[in-house]
Chains A and B, each alone.
Chain A
Amino acid sequence: MAGNQPQKPPQSPGGSDGWVAVGYLLSGMAVWGGVGWLIDRWLHLGRVPIAAGVIIGAVGGIYLVMRRFSP
Chain B
Amino acid sequence: MSKVASVLSLEDPPWPPSVDEFFPPGLFGIDWLTKMMLMVWLAIALIIIFFLIAYRNPKIVPGRMQWLAESIYGFSRDGIAKEVIGHEGVRFAPYLTTLLVFIAVTNMFALIPLLQISPNSHIAFPVMLALITYVLYLYWGVKSHGLGKFLKISLFPPNVPWPMYVLLTPIEFIMVFLMRPFTLSLRLFANMFAGHMMLLVFTLGGFALLNAGGLVAPISVLSWGMTVLLTLFETLVALLQAYVFVLLTSSYLQSSLAEEH
Q: Quick check: is A28 within 8 A (CB to CB) of the other chain?
A: yes
> Which residue of B157, B167, B254 is within 8 Å of A10 (Cβ)?
B254
Name the CB-closest residue of B to A17.
B251
**Contact between A24 and B160 (Cβ–Cβ < 8 Å)?**
no
Query: Which residues in window 169-197 of B have CB below 8 A to A?
Result: 170-172, 174-175, 179-180, 183, 187
Interface of A is mostly: helix
Contacts across chains A and B counted by CB atoms under 8 Å: 70
Q: Which residues of chain A come closer than 8 Å to B167, judged between CB atoms?
A: 32, 56, 59-60, 63
Answer yes or no: A26 CB below 8 A from chain B CBs. yes
Dominant secondary structure at the B interface: helix
Q: How many residues of A contact B (CB 8 A)?
A: 29
Are B247 and A64 interface neighbours, CB within 8 A? no
Q: Are A24 and B175 interface neighbours, CB within 8 A?
A: yes
When the two chains form their complex, are residues A61 and B86 in contact, meaning their CB atoms are under 8 A apart? Answer: no
Is residue B30 contacting chain A, with contact meaning CB distance below 8 A?
A: no
When distances are taken between beta carbons in the complex, the residues of chain B under 8 Å from A30 are 174, 179
In the complex where A2-B259, A27-B179, A31-B170 touch, is A13 in contact with B244 (Cβ < 8 A)?
A: no
Given contacts A23-B180, A27-B174, A27-B175, contact A64 B168 (CB under 8 A): yes
Interface residues of A in 1-49 (CB under 8 A from B): 1-2, 7-8, 10, 12-13, 15-16, 19-20, 23-24, 26-28, 30-32, 35
5 closest Cβ contacts across the A-B interface?
A16-B251, A27-B175, A27-B174, A60-B167, A28-B171
Given contacts A1-B259, A23-B175, A31-B170, 5 further A-B pairs with CB under 8 A are: A2-B259, A13-B247, A27-B179, A32-B167, A64-B172
